[in-house]
Structure 1
Amino acid sequence: MKFKLPFNKKQTTIAIDSIKEDIGTITPLKIDFIKSIKDATHNPSDLIVKSIPPNITLIYINNLVNDQIMNDHIISGLQNKPNETPETIKTALSISEVNISTQLKKTVESIVNGFVLIHVEGYSQVILANIAKGESRSLSAPENESQVIGAQVGFNESLSTNISLIRRYIVSPDLCNEELKVGKHTNTSVNLLYMSGIASDQMINTLRERITNLNLDALIDSAILSEIIDDNSLSPFPQMLLTERPDRFCASLLNGKLGVIVDGSSMAIICPQSFIEFLQSQEDQNLRWLIATFARLLRFTAILLSVFLTPIYVGALTFHYEVIPQAFLVPLSESRALVPFPPVFEALLLEFIIELLREAGARLPTKIGQTIGIVGGIVIGTAAVQAGITSNILLIFVALSALASFTTPSYLMGNVIRLIRFPIIILAGFWGFYGIMLAFCFILIHLLRQSSLGAPYLSPFYPPRLKDMRDSIIRMPFPYTAKRPVLTRPADQDKFNPEPVKPDKS
């Protein structure tokens, strides 16, 4: 499916041109300058205006600037400086980022980003000094992508901190970092990162164009951005990975993928992404290849059980008794003897209860949520069996399906697995195994039609790429994975020399 831009390009060009026409210049008069800033910012209550005799005026937003730097470096440095020009004041300030502007638009954009405006009466220039207050939570271990072996630090909501974490992993001048602005009201910083000489230029241009052409009022989180720039936003399957692990993000960049970080979000975007990569964990690279392969096969089997176990139970009891082993018919009939509902309604009811408990446990505080999940599951399950609402065998199948869905490393893909289980159960209740096969074929065809940044979603299985299959469901030893995946169309395909270093016998 081709990507469709959610805006009118002609209208956007006209809007930008009209903004350029409205740009004003800095007035040399103190009273007029203060009035122009107040009018442009709608005179907020936290807008501070200070006068330093004889002719200097400071304007800043109180909650955005660092008070200590303001007092130690700005106010004290400007005391007793009569007849100073903006150029000499800029040179005298001991602050890393100091600029001079003559445009009102740039000045207003700077003040809402934590700059202090220094205006000298009689000059149509203003000094912009960056003393923004950097507030962010401390670094902590990732909560949604935990692992035993490997780094135990995750991204936070600070853009500068996240960039710093990435540069600690990739100490190379080839790491490119482009800053883009998205959101008419939020003016959110969106950073596009990639490795020069490895990433595909075509993919870089495509992703850059999708981000810069967005016409949004606001951008709050990276999850919103990933859905907007997806190849197919209507599909329930995510085409871009959200991760909070810097090590996984950097490993993807080194494989030729592109990364996007949104200021204020603790989740980074990785693309392009194939379906099978949502079932992989970064910890797989830190384990021995046999253990990692076993873990991946276990996850893949768990997903199949989570999606199809309950529908197979419903289809077998409704239409296909002949597939049930004879030794299992007696306990199964005894279990369902007091149940007044058909299997499809019974399964949907239990799945709905499981989803209620899961959602309640996720939304409540941590300690209460754990109690609700454990106690609620035991009490409701036992009461439902004793009341004859459901059978204990189906309760085991539903609980096993719910448990299997938690093995998915990606939270977004886990939500999809929870969702598609319901229509498959309904089809199994109407048409039995034929309904299950119909649902499977529909999902497979849908996945075959999907793409991620133009790359095939079911790679490396369709189109078949045998070399990339070495690191898909199975993980071969590292000497067999020396090539970067074809999915990213890398400019440099070799990651390392697969030949082992031979010891010197001399």
Structure 2
Amino acid sequence: MQRQKRSSSGIFPTKPEKLKNILEQKFENNPDVSFTVYEVQKQKIAVFFITYQIKPEKVERSLLSKLLNKDKEWTNKDLLNEIPLHNGESVEKLDDILDGLIQGKVFIYIEDEDRCLSYPLVNVEARQIGTSETESVVVGPKSAFTETLTTNLNLIRWRVRSTDLVMEEIKFGSRAKTKGRLVYIKSLANQTDIDTMRQRLEDLDIDHVDDTNMLMQYVEDSSFTLFPQFYTTELPDRASYSLLRGRICVMLENSPSVIVAPTTFLSFYESPEDLYMRWNTGTFLRFIRVLSLAITLLLTPMYVAAVTFHYEMIPTELLVSIGESRAGVPFPPIFEALLLEFLIELLREAGARLPTKIGQTIGIVGGVVIGTAAVQAGITSDILIIFTALSALASFTAPSYLMGTASRVLRFPMIILAGSLGILGIMYGICLLIIHLLKIKSLGRPYLTPLYPFRMKDFNKVVFRLPPQFQGRRFASFQPKDKRRLDKRKSSAKKDIDK
């Protein structure tokens, strides 16, 4: 055979033995790299792949059975035409070959050709679709994302059956590459948001990204705040709902959660269940969650401030009860409250890290035993235990685990301010918190919208819900391309068939 012109990579054409030496050097003589040379009609053909990443039976059945049963010499063009496998492609760069091997591709090289061929026969180890562990729902779909990108893309595609659904492929990691997708609906998502997110993802120069929660910390607007600026969800219905409202999703291989951007502060207190319930019930539950935020931040600090500085705020009967409860406590209220809050967080963290059955037992029994023993030992008062337990319960009403954790952390500085300056300290803390929230952006959008900038027409999207026929427009603060989602006149005209 006439020798081909050398390719731009400087490797091909070559001998299979030389190619094998190059791969052994790159993979440090890894025994999992299978490199076999076959001779067909006096023509040497090399087949190489990483053993545990491919399906051996498919290699035997779909490749080798056809490759070795040939009465004439092969060419790359013949292989692509006669082997009935999809996504077969020719590769000439060594870096592409190395990346393909890691991704689970099988390569075929015919001696003296100027490139080799690759076929994706990856053996995907996938977890079955189950329920979400971090976002539990009572009403609505129960399926959750898995660690397999292909499965997650299918879950989105099944829900958003539109030709406008765009799934741009993006790769992360300069040392260990990970595939990701930037997902949006082209006719809805704001182009500025798309370009901003794409630019941040492409500019990220990092060795490796393990999970979307890690990726989120690199691409969000501010890294010096407790509050997450993007929402991460394990629920396909929430992701598809966000896409149909003009938002953007980022998906990553090996990650069971999806980034949703841009996001508002109040979006972290929404739940997909709100959409599946009656509008008035959904509104009530949202109010409960927002009220729980105030309880978890202010209930224990208000107790500390009142007992330390402002006895006149407490009714006489309750003041007597608090005095009797604290009669044997040797510590000031601020130390007492911080100690109890620390014990609550200790129990919560231990219950989360232990096996499920043991964790539940530790959380219940540990809380009862430690609380009772603390009161009997005179370390704390029983009234403060009630307030601390209510604050802890209120923090768990947030659908977002990240936002719930942020509210629990903020409770500690609020207690310190209350114990140092009383009600004035609590007001200082609230003002600083509001100023901080006003400065936060989510993909360049105001974090507190529609509260600031004030947009009354968007209140029924995040603060409360109206009947479905009055929800004809999308969230205008994020400027989607198509603001209307429902024809109000047609949806309101509910006529019986006999009219």
The residue number in structure 1 matching 2:56 is 67
Is the Cα–Cα contact under 8 Å of residues 27 and 33 in structure 1 kept in the other structure? Answer: no
1:270-313 CA-to-partner distances (Å, cap 9, x unmatched) read: 00000001011011011001111111111111111111000000
| Letter paired with 1:68 | E
The residue number in structure 1 matching 2:12 is 26
Could you tell me which of 407, 424, 436 is aligned with 1:417? 407
Is the Cα–Cα contact under 8 Å of residues 195 and 256 in structure 1 kept in the other structure? Answer: yes
Q: Distance in 1 between matches of 2:316 and 2:10?
A: 86
1:455-499 CA-to-partner distances (Å, cap 9, x unmatched) read: 110011111101100122211112222111123210110011112
- Corresponding residue SS for 2:144: coil
The aligned runs of 1:297-312 (5 Å cut-off) are 297-312=287-302
Q: Distance in 2 between matches of 1:161 and 1:192?
A: 15
Q: Distance in 1 between matches of 2:460 and 2:454?
A: 12
Is the Cα–Cα contact under 8 Å of residues 64 and 133 in structure 1 kept in the other structure? Answer: yes
Q: Distance in 2 between matches of 1:180 and 1:487?
A: 28
The residue number in structure 2 matching 1:7 is none
The residue number in structure 2 matching 1:101 is 91
Could you tell me which of 450, 463, 471 is aligned with 2:440? 450
1:400-451 CA-to-partner distances (Å, cap 9, x unmatched) read: 1101111000000000011000000011111001110000000000001111
Q: Distance in 2 between matches of 1:71 and 1:425?
A: 68
1:205-247 CA-to-partner distances (Å, cap 9, x unmatched) read: 0000000011100010000111111111111100000000000
In the alignment, structure 1 residue 273 sits paired with structure 2 residue 259: no
The residue number in structure 2 matching 1:53 is 39
Identify the range of structure 1 (76-85 vs 130-139) with the bigger mean alpha-carbon deviation. Answer: 76-85
Q: Distance in 2 between matches of 1:62 and 1:493?
A: 51
Identify the range of structure 1 (157-166 vs 472-481) with the bigger mean alpha-carbon deviation. Answer: 472-481
The residue number in structure 2 matching 1:250 is 240
Is the Cα–Cα contact under 8 Å of residues 12 and 112 in structure 2 kept in the other structure? Answer: no
Task: Tell me the CA shift for residue 105 of structure 1.
Answer: 1.8
Q: Distance in 1 between matches of 2:481 and 2:363?
A: 49
- Corresponding residue SS for 1:461: coil
Is the Cα–Cα contact under 8 Å of residues 460 and 466 in structure 1 kept in the other structure? Answer: yes
Q: Distance in 2 between matches of 1:472 and 1:158?
A: 31
Q: Distance in 2 between matches of 1:45 and 1:417?
A: 51
Q: Distance in 1 between matches of 2:136 and 2:359?
A: 19
Could you tell me which of 370, 373, 390 is aligned with 1:400? 390
Identify the range of structure 1 (236-245 vs 77-86) with the bigger mean alpha-carbon deviation. Answer: 77-86
The residue number in structure 2 matching 1:286 is 276
Q: Distance in 2 between matches of 1:502 and 1:305?
A: 42
Task: Tell me the CA shift for residue 505 of structure 1.
Answer: 5.6
| Letter paired with 2:224 | L
Q: Distance in 2 between matches of 1:301 and 1:98?
A: 57
Q: Distance in 2 between matches of 1:431 and 1:168?
A: 56
> RMSD of aligned C-alpha atoms?
1.2
The aligned runs of 1:123-134 (5 Å cut-off) are 123-134=113-124
Is the Cα–Cα contact under 8 Å of residues 243 and 267 in structure 1 kept in the other structure? Answer: yes
Q: Distance in 1 between matches of 2:240 and 2:176?
A: 28
Could you tell me which of 331, 334, 345 is aligned with 1:355? 345
Q: Distance in 1 between matches of 2:494 and 2:309?
A: 64
The residue number in structure 2 matching 1:189 is 179
Q: Distance in 2 between matches of 1:127 and 1:28?
A: 14
Tell me the number of residue pairs that the alignment of Structure 1 and Structure 2 aligns: 485
Q: Percent identity?
A: 42
Gap regions ≥5 residues in structure 1: 1-21
Could you tell me which of 128, 138, 146 is aligned with 2:128? 138
Q: Distance in 1 between matches of 2:12 and 2:387?
A: 71
Is the Cα–Cα contact under 8 Å of residues 192 and 260 in structure 1 kept in the other structure? Answer: yes
Could you tell me which of 67, 71, 84 is aligned with 1:78? 67
Gap regions ≥5 residues in structure 2: 1-7
Runs of 4 or more, structure 1, over 4 Å off, are none
| Letter paired with 1:164 | N
Task: Tell me the CA shift for residue 28 of structure 1.
Answer: 2.6
Q: Distance in 2 between matches of 1:236 and 1:183?
A: 26
| Letter paired with 1:167 | R
| Letter paired with 1:73 | S
The residue number in structure 1 matching 2:205 is 215
In the alignment, structure 1 residue 319 sits paired with structure 2 residue 309: yes
- Corresponding residue SS for 1:116: strand
Is the Cα–Cα contact under 8 Å of residues 105 and 122 in structure 2 kept in the other structure? Answer: yes
1:83-134 CA-to-partner distances (Å, cap 9, x unmatched) read: 1112112222121121112222212211111111101112122111110111
